[in-house]
Amino acid sequence: MRHRSRTSVVLAFLVIVTVSLGACSGGTDGASLVQSRCDSCHSVDWVTGASDAARADWEGTVARMEAKGLQVTDEERATIIDHLNATYPPE
């Protein structure tokens, strides 16, 4: 019985840690990724100030930020660019 109780506590702890880490990661939608990745170096207002950028411009901007240290996966990069392009399209 004691072993089963300890196992339950360990499993509960792992679930709590996993859920907490997921909540702190900033999410995987475009807005959350922009907030969590871009806001670590400059304000999101600064990012969105280029609201008349075309998709190629957003791609170039993200590439420049990666050269300066931004670390994103290929999927995150695509999600960020899709979000910026959809939310702040050329006027």
pLDDT digits (tens, 9 = 90+) for 48-63: 776 668 899 999 999 9
Supply the pTM of this predicted model. 0.67
Helix (H, G, I), strand (E, B) or coil at 1: coil
Higher local confidence (pLDDT), 7 or 1? 7
Q: Please classify residue 58 by burial: count the beta carbons closer than 10 Å to its beta carbon, then call 0-12 exposed, 13-18 middle and 19+ buried.
A: buried
pLDDT for position 73: 96
Degrees to nearest 5, angle at CA 74 with 20 and 69? 80
Q: In 1-91, which ranges are continuous DSSP H helix?
A: 2-24, 30-33, 44-48, 55-67, 74-87
Higher local confidence (pLDDT), 6 or 15? 6
pLDDT for position 88: 84
Q: What is the pLDDT of residues 29-85, one digit of tens each?
A: 999 999 899 888 888 788 777 666 889 999 999 999 999 999 999 999 999 999 999
Q: Would you say residue 4 has pLDDT above 80?
A: no
The residue among 39, 43, 12 whose CA lies nearest residue 26 is: 39
